[in-house]
Structure 1
Amino acid sequence: MLTQLVFFLILLALLKKFAWGPLMNVMQKREEYVTSEIESAEQSRAEAEKAQAEASEQLKQTKKEATQIIEDAKKTGAKQEQEIVEAARREAQNMKQSAQEEIEHEKEKAVQALQDQVGSLSVQIASKVIEKEISEQDQEELINEYIKEAGEER
């Protein structure tokens, strides 16, 4: 039994020197590797969260800018609409005033032409009256005749 104990102690010493030491070194290296991988994963997770937060902030900023651009476009459109309506209103007013002036001018020309014709007719009637004295019926026929002639001259 004593020999078995000695052999057992020698075996333990040999195992400690050749098996237990290298096994513990491998376990130590494995522990360090797992620890570094966990730290790397934590760092990657933190960077991913940071990138996600930045992307979210950029998305919010982009949405805000898009909303601002849309609002500016609406304001510009409304302003242009008002300018176009106002320009059309001014143009219509100018056309109306021009048409009224033209109508007034044509009216004056027509009145002048009518006065000229009436004057001419009066002169012709007076010359006919001077040539002969006429009755009321002859006078009416003469007026109708001159009116008819004036209508044909047009």
Structure 2
Amino acid sequence: MLLDSFVLGAASGFNGGDILFQLAMFLILLTLIKKFAWGPLMGIMTQREEHIANEITAAEESRVEAKKLLEEQKALLKEARTEAQAMIESAKKQGEVQREEIITTARSESDRMKESAKLEIEQQKEQAVAAIREQVASLSVLVASKVIEKELSAADQEKLINEYIQEAGEKR
């Protein structure tokens, strides 16, 4: 019951001094909050806003720089491809030149070997003809001595050989 009478008494009476005191305290508290909390809080918020703006600007600059670097890399890649193609073409041309040089060298070597073989064949032919003449001469002397049945002197034999060789050469 005591509680009921206290609640009823407080409700029935209007206390203006308490209200003014509470309003004054509220205003003082609001001023203190504005001075000590709101200012630093707004400073932190301003710093945060500037930091975010700087980060956005830096990101945009990085994006522009990355785009620029990408374009440079594309240009360098294109240039490298062009250089590689030029090197391939140059190598092909050099290969063709070397191939032609090798073919020319092989042909000249082949011609030289043919000429050398012809000269060797001609020399062997001449040696064979000389050997045959010599054999024919000795056989002729032998046949002639048998036919004549006499012995010839060395000078007569030489004369007879030369005559026979000359006759054999004319008949050819």
TM-score (normalised: structure 2): 0.65
Query: 2: distance between equivalents of 1:19 and 1:121?
Result: 146
Distance between the aligned counterparts of 1:83 and 1:54, measured in 2? Answer: 43
Structure 2 residue 103 is the aligned partner of structure 1 residue 81? no
- Match for residue 115 of structure 2 among 64, 87, 97: 97
Deviation at 1:7, TM superposition (A): 4.7
Match of 2:126 among 96, 108, 121: 108
Larger RCO, structure (CA 8 Å, separation 6 or more): 1
Q: Which residue is 2:163 aligned to?
A: none
The separation in 2 between residues aligned to 1:131 and 1:28, in whole angstroms, is 149
> How far apart are the structure 2 equivalents of 1:111 and 1:28?
122
Give 5+ residue unaligned stretches, structure 2: 1-15, 151-172
Deviation of residue 30 (structure 1)?
1.0
Amino acid at match of 1:71: E
Correspondence 1:63 to 2:81: yes
CA RMSD, 1 decimal: 2.3
Following TM superposition, by how much is the alpha carbon of 1:8 offset from its aligned partner in structure 2, in angstroms?
Answer: 4.3
CA distance in 2, matches of 1:129, 1:68: 89
| 1:22-41 map, 5 Å | 22-41=40-59
Q: Deviations over 1:133-152 (max 9, x none)?
A: xxxxxxxxxxxxxxxxxxxx
Structure 1 segments, 4+ long, off by >3 Å, are 4-15
Flag the structure with larger Rg.
Answer: 2
| Counterparts of 2:148 and 2:28, CA distance in 1 | 175
Question: What SS does the corresponding residue of 1:16 show, helix, strand or coil?
Answer: helix
The amino acid of 1:128's aligned partner reads K
Secondary structure, counterpart of 1:105 in structure 2? helix
Aligned residue number for residue 138 of structure 1: none
**Are positions 1:47 and 2:65 aligned together?**
yes
Residue 44 of structure 1 and its aligned partner are, at CA, apart by: 1.5
| Displacement of 1:49 | 1.9
Which residue number corresponds to residue 144 of structure 1? none
Normalising by structure 1, we get a TM-score of 0.71
User: Which deviates more from structure 2 when the two are superposed, residues 50-59 or residues 101-110?
Assistant: 50-59
Q: 1:21 aligns to what? A: 39
Partners in 1 of 2:38 and 2:126 — Cα distance? Answer: 130
Q: CA offset at residue 65 of structure 1?
A: 2.1
User: Post-superposition shift, 1:6?
Assistant: 4.9
**How many Å apart are 1:20 and its aligned residue?**
2.5
Shift of 1:35: 0.4
Query: AA paired with 2:77?
Result: L
